[in-house]
Structure 1
Amino acid sequence: MVCAGREYLVRTFGADGYQGYPGPPGWQGQVMIPVDVAFSGGNNSTLAALDPGIAAGLLSHAQTFSPPLYAIMTAAETIQRVVWNGQVMTTGQSGERTKLKTILDQISETGARSNELFSKSIADLYETVLASSLRDSEFVSHLLIDLMDRNLYERSDDCRWWALTSELRTALAAAQRESALVAHIHRILEYINRLYTVYTRIFVYDTSGCIIASTGQDGAVVVGTPIDPVTLARVCALRSEQDYYVTPFAPTPLYDGQATYIYHAAIRAPEDDATVVGGIGIVFDATPEFLAMLRGGLGSKPGMNALFVDRQGCVLSSTDPTRPVGSILKLDPSLLALPNGASASRIVIHDNHYAVMGCTVSSGYREFKVTDGYREDVLAFVFDSLGEVREHAGTGHQAELALTQDAIAAEGREFATFIVAGSLFALSAEHVLQALQASKMSSVSKAQCPACIGLMGLQSEVENNGAVWVFDLGYLLRGLPSVINHTSQVIIVRLGAQTIGLLVDALHGVPKFNATQIMPSPFADHADGALVKHFIKANGGKLLIQAVDITRLFAILMGREAIG
């Protein structure tokens, strides 16, 4: 929209309400930012600061946390698969197919040169998504701690205001307190408590610490019991009507054994403010009130949890049922040491999930926790879970696996290359028919063969249309199941009359290598049943490609022990 001659990006929201209160009818919140400054933020370095394994694992969940990013990545993979299949199709062909292969090689070469730019574009968008998520989580944590500070400021006001009640001052200053007077005090407290439901109990006590009257279902039970001597001493030492005392957040019998804050103020003699005649205590209903703050700040977004913790990481409130009040949240000590009012955000591993974490330290509200002498630092933490940790989620560092132009022979044997668990492998291209997107596989397992994971229907262009069994090549090579994501492909291979599918993490290329680049594996003679019996030296020997022995592969998979 345009406002005062300047264009703005605008977002408007209606109120969700808080604890059932929707606010005035028709109220909305609106955010405006000038278009000319909306995209002029500083350079982000979120990805650079991330461990490459975490970055790759997190990116494998892009479909969940950023569908547009996932769509671009999927499109890039589709283009790569089409070119890869075209190169495989023209392997060893002559005539018109040779011309097609030349075109495909040129397309592939152009694609390789532009791949860095394409990868950078994806990385830039990934960076933007992560930076936005980090800002959002930090903002929510800031909102949560502001809600707490503002809310508890009211509690400090309430106890001081009610301590000025003339009836309470007169009653506690009386030499004798008859039952009628005590009953009158009780009615006053009950009236206040009905209006202020954030308290489970309001009570008054004399200078000996004995509770005279109390609200609550068990009010009669606590009457006559003493408050703790530390609290009594602190209340009696309060110097003015502006002073108050808050007990540490801890379990108390005045809150059914649960942890909370109790706010105290001194009740002073009617004609002598310097004389303390007792005190008033208000028990904050911390469990539902703090939880309402956390849930209100998070909204309805799934996968998010928030917590209030103290400087030691002890939980005051949590939306995470696995971290109840009193438990310890394990955190980086540097976060717990942040100064008041400071915020931070980062990508972390939380409960075996990749998560965006934001936190903010309390800074008080007006004089509360600022100039009134009260210190009780609280931190709000927000965790936005983005997906489970994946040990082998990435396809390796593509830049490290790229083949230099001088590494590819003009004449020689063609290999179809692909990535498994971050390493580069190859199959003789003459045995490869095509690659298909792994997401099209139907999951069907064979108990006798853990590597057999499903069935894949063949495309019409492939001879002998039908379905083939798919085997997890990563499992066959490493003994660990592969994680299927947007880069995963099923390579259809044939030896003689047998056709199978092999699950791999990603496609790579279809280069040629001459005989001098192919060398036997030093472990082939010592490993019975080894699938890799040769290595291909590329990039001047700096990159070794493991060549899978197709004959040995089929011998294992077609054997009785594999198929059953």
Structure 2
Amino acid sequence: MKQVSYKYNNISKDVLPYIRHMEQVEDNRERLHELSNHWNTLSLLSQLGDAGVNMSRIKNNFTELSFELINHLAIELLNKNIDEMDFKAQVAVDIMIRNLFERTADIGFLATDDDIRAFLLKNDTKYSTHYNDDLEIIKERFKEYVKKYSVYFDIVLMSPKGEILANLDDELTLSKSKDSIIDEVLNTSGEYVETFKYHDFLPKEKKSLVYSYKVTKSNEEGSEIIGILSLCFKFQDEMKQIFSNLINKDKKEAILLLDHEGTVIATSDKYQIPLGAELEIVLNDNYKLISFGGVDYICKSNKTTGYQGFFGLEWYGHVMIPISHAFAQEDEESFEISEELLLSILQNGKQFSEALKNIPKQANSIQKSLNRAIWNGTINQGSTTSNKQFSKALMLEIRQTGQDTKSIIGSSIANLTKTIILGDSVFYADLIVDIMDRNLYERANDCRWWALTSDFQKILAKDSIGMDDVLRMNEILEYINDLYTVYTNIFIYDKHGYIKATSNPDERHLLGKRVSKNFVTQTLGLSDSSKYAVSDFEASEYYDNKHTYIYNAAIKNEENVVGGIGLVFDSEVQFKNMIQESLPKNVDGTTKNGVFATLATKNMQIISSTNEKHQIGQYLDIDSSYFNLQSGESTSEIIIYDDKYYALGVKCSKGYREYKSVQDDYVNDVYSFFFSYICDKSEAVYKKDDNFSPKTDVVFEKGSKSIDIATFMIANQWLGIDTKHVVETVSATELKTTIKIDKDHHFKGTVIYNEKAVMVIDIQKFLQEKDVEEYQEIVIIKYGEHDTYMGILVNSLGIIAEVADDNVNQLHNEIIGAGTLIDSLVFPSGDNPGKDVLSILSLDKIMTELISPEYSKLIHKQVMR
């Protein structure tokens, strides 16, 4: 990846146009740049003060890592925005296509309506005898239809010659249409005609989306065409609804729908990107930087994936975000999660690149090198530095600057990890529940419209319903159910709740049985045709004893309720499909690994799930606080579920149009839970990788005479050696094991120091300690008259403590015996002298008991493992 220079940083060429607009990246860059300047000052002071620390390599390493961090932050932030744009462009067009698929079913069904056929057969022109009386009746029927199916603003009925016989717009003066759809409808072999253009019978609309079809005398093939029916869709209104669910106002983004030529046919912001604007369709690129109206935009387009084989017209979802607002910081979710856990998740999550995982590892490695250099420098300065206090202060400042640098890197990577993990979790939860609400809106419409079927009203009003009546109702229901396959059965019941007809021949055994359910009582008590009733989500004998919803509407004859219609929704199949179709997909169309979603009721009952463990009808085992979300509210966080870490997005349904709105009597909050697997809980165990953990709160008394103690940790014991015996420390990675050694033997190998092989030993088991973590350092000490070198493996380095001579408390062998390598203790000053006691190792005991060939005294006093 080609890199370019940007404000002293080397960054990817791809992010150069955007990085200056990334506020959080710029904040980190400025902080790291300030620290870089501080490193320069410390490096110079280190040289002038003869501190014994070579800062150049460490400073350069931190600088290079800072460059890498800034580059990754910018790349990941850009990728996050592109992913969101891609998602929104796809959803904008796909949601519309799903909606329009329903419209194709509507026009096909309504064109076979008996009342419309009867009107046309009696009124082939406006000049027929009973036209005016019949017109008012058919217009009332049209009004009822658009009340139920509120996605339409008009219904136009024409003769085959284009004479307008009925419509809802009383201001229309046109008597005969010459629109091109007339010929299209009369000559089509398809099931509908879909047009988006100017229609002469809708003169107020520059462009309108209309679904048209021929009305024939009967359903038989080749039946005479007696009229043309057009359903006029609320296109701009529907796009406004879709855009409102997707738009991020902070980013000033524009979400659009483009036609096949790239012309804007719907816009979320007409002042920014107006209707009719001609734009480039960005399909083959992940994104593109395009200038429009003097403003630079990041752009992305997507074509529809279709729905059940329906692709509509050649339209594209398109998102444009001004580059100046594209990376506006969003409010973070308020849940608590530690930086350490996020970094641990980063190391174990499969969705993170190796390059990203390596940044905190590199920061730790550099910090170790710095800590080692400071520790060694502090030891060396004891004998060589003339200004000891200055050097100590400098060492502390170097150490603090290193920790500050690592802290910035750690917090930046942790926040980035959180951003990547949560990603689109709420988007997917929202998409699932939005698709559900839109689907169930249609179910509420269906039951209310079909309840207005004239034959149902007339038959149920009879004192006695004969077999011919039953067969007629069965026939109508079968025809409906063949077209609307989301129902397993549709049944008609009388005013006493007895089933009189069913659509499913396999359910005819229900005829004559009484439905003794609360939803029937509610239905029979409905006052007008705009109301409906829905069963609870429960196991039903009308759905093979499985859980479902049954949608109901009252059937009225004039003002009297004479019965009801019940629609048995195929919940198991349909809800599963809604979820499955909404989950993120791979390029080949398969669902991405590690994701699943669950729909649940307010009382935590599972409606559907793509997780086999979440059985329908059971209760979702999750924190109940999520169910406190109110209509339309959402949240996301990282949770432990089933001993795994997941990114969780939760959304409470808010309805669609009038369905479950404040005007609707029906209240039923449904919660969508989207889970995206991160890693197993057992994998995300944070292992602190900082081998310089000075006990800064420990203060030792100082006297006129004092000694410097080099301290370190072996397992849980804080140990020290007089600095006059310490040469320096080297990384434990330098250890060489060239011969086979018993794993329980304390001799662990050698390290090359000053071109000599130095023996390295492990004294942990002789301190009555168990292994707690791998060794990080080898402290090299000198002993004997000839300054022989020896290495001791330690877990981490500590401070170089200045201790008063008389504060060193010797241990007497006659009291403690020979079973220890400790020869003295140092207690800190203060109110709690027993806190953080420093144990001083005896080199004589180590030499006598472990190094000399005749050692034998301690070898059997090991901790049992």
- Choose from 344, 355, 358 the match for 1:60: 344
2:500 alignment partner in structure 1:
212
CA distance in structure 2 between the partners assigned to 1:460 and 1:17 by the alignment? 68
2:295 alignment partner in structure 1:
6
2:336 alignment partner in structure 1:
50
1:161 to partner: Cα distance? 1.6
CA contact (8 A) 1:342 1:360 kept: yes
Corresponding residue SS for 1:61: helix
Query: Is it true that 1:77 corresponds to 2:389 in the alignment?
Result: no
Structure 1 window deviating more from structure 2 (294-303 vs 534-543): it is: 534-543
Corresponding residue SS for 1:365: coil
Deviations 1:351-402 (A, max 9, x none): 3334433322222111111112111111222333433446962529999856
1:119 to partner: Cα distance? 0.6
Query: Is it true that 1:353 corresponds to 2:644 in the alignment?
Result: yes
The 1:430–1:231 alpha-carbon spacing in structure 2 relative to 1, beyond 3 Å, is: same
Query: Structure 2: which amino acid aligns with 1:81?
Result: K
Query: Structure 1: which amino acid aligns with 2:668?
Result: E
CA contact (8 A) 2:298 2:322 kept: yes
Query: Is it true that 1:393 corresponds to 2:686 in the alignment?
Result: yes
- Choose from 435, 444, 464 the match for 1:147: 435
1:182-201 equivalences in 2 (<5 Å): 182-201=470-489
- Choose from 364, 384, 390 the match for 2:655: 364
1:324-473 equivalences in 2 (<5 Å): 324-370=615-661, 371-389=663-681, 393-395=686-688, 403=696, 412-417=708-713, 434-436=731-733
1:427 to partner: Cα distance? 7.1
CA distance in structure 1 between the partners assigned to 2:309 and 2:734 by the alignment? 50
1:123 to partner: Cα distance? 0.9
Deviations 1:56-112 (A, max 9, x none): 233211131544653321110121233456678889789xx99xxx99997895253
Higher RCO structure, 1 or 2 (CA under 8 Å, sep 6+): 1
TM-score by length of 2: 0.50
Larger Rg over CA atoms: 2
CA contact (8 A) 1:69 1:122 kept: no
Corresponding residue SS for 1:151: helix
CA distance in structure 1 between the partners assigned to 2:372 and 2:690 by the alignment? 23
CA distance in structure 2 between the partners assigned to 1:258 and 1:120 by the alignment? 55
Deviations 1:287-321 (A, max 9, x none): 22222333333314443332222222222222333
1:299-314 equivalences in 2 (<5 Å): 299-300=584-585, 301-314=592-605
TM-score by length of 1: 0.73
1:166 alignment partner in structure 2:
454
Deviations 1:140-192 (A, max 9, x none): 32222222211111110111122222333333334444434433322322222
Query: Structure 1: which amino acid aligns with 2:578?
Result: M
2:573 alignment partner in structure 1:
288
State the number of aligned residues. 529
CA distance in structure 2 between the partners assigned to 1:295 and 1:546 by the alignment? 61
- Choose from 503, 517, 523 the match for 1:235: 523
CA contact (8 A) 1:135 1:345 kept: no
CA distance in structure 2 between the partners assigned to 1:365 and 1:510 by the alignment? 65
Corresponding residue SS for 1:148: helix
Query: Structure 1: which amino acid aligns with 2:346?
Result: A
The 1:392–1:407 alpha-carbon spacing in structure 2 relative to 1, beyond 3 Å, is: farther
1:118 alignment partner in structure 2:
406
CA contact (8 A) 1:200 1:285 kept: yes
1:114 to partner: Cα distance? 3.5
Deviations 1:480-501 (A, max 9, x none): x76xxxxx76556899999997
Corresponding residue SS for 1:60: helix
The 1:433–1:114 alpha-carbon spacing in structure 2 relative to 1, beyond 3 Å, is: closer
Corresponding residue SS for 1:213: strand
CA distance in structure 2 between the partners assigned to 1:556 and 1:206 by the alignment? 99
CA distance in structure 1 between the partners assigned to 2:445 and 2:824 by the alignment? 79
Corresponding residue SS for 1:72: helix
Deviations 1:250-284 (A, max 9, x none): 11111111111100112223xx2x12222211111
The 1:400–1:105 alpha-carbon spacing in structure 2 relative to 1, beyond 3 Å, is: closer
The 1:82–1:401 alpha-carbon spacing in structure 2 relative to 1, beyond 3 Å, is: closer
Structure 1 window deviating more from structure 2 (246-255 vs 229-238): it is: 229-238
CA distance in structure 2 between the partners assigned to 1:206 and 1:556 by the alignment? 99
CA distance in structure 1 between the partners assigned to 2:432 and 2:470 by the alignment? 40
Deviations 1:447-475 (A, max 9, x none): x99xx9xxx9999889999xx999999xx
1:216 to partner: Cα distance? 3.9
1:480-559 equivalences in 2 (<5 Å): 490-491=776-777, 511=800, 514=803, 544=836
CA distance in structure 2 between the partners assigned to 1:24 and 1:458 by the alignment? 74
Query: Structure 2: which amino acid aligns with 1:308?
Result: L
Structure 1 window deviating more from structure 2 (401-410 vs 250-259): it is: 401-410
The 1:394–1:32 alpha-carbon spacing in structure 2 relative to 1, beyond 3 Å, is: farther
Structure 1: segments with no counterpart, 5+ residues: 483-487
1:44 to partner: Cα distance? 4.8
CA distance in structure 2 between the partners assigned to 1:387 and 1:167 by the alignment? 60
Structure 2: segments with no counterpart, 5+ residues: 1-288, 586-591, 782-787
Corresponding residue SS for 1:339: coil
The 1:44–1:211 alpha-carbon spacing in structure 2 relative to 1, beyond 3 Å, is: closer
CA distance in structure 2 between the partners assigned to 1:535 and 1:33 by the alignment? 66
CA contact (8 A) 1:470 1:490 kept: no
- Choose from 280, 294, 297 the match for 2:582: 297
The 1:27–1:245 alpha-carbon spacing in structure 2 relative to 1, beyond 3 Å, is: same
Corresponding residue SS for 2:582: helix
CA distance in structure 2 between the partners assigned to 1:193 and 1:469 by the alignment? 82
The 1:8–1:175 alpha-carbon spacing in structure 2 relative to 1, beyond 3 Å, is: same
Deviations 1:6-25 (A, max 9, x none): 2233444555555x557458
CA contact (8 A) 1:437 1:489 kept: no
CA contact (8 A) 1:202 1:215 kept: yes
1:518 to partner: Cα distance? 6.8
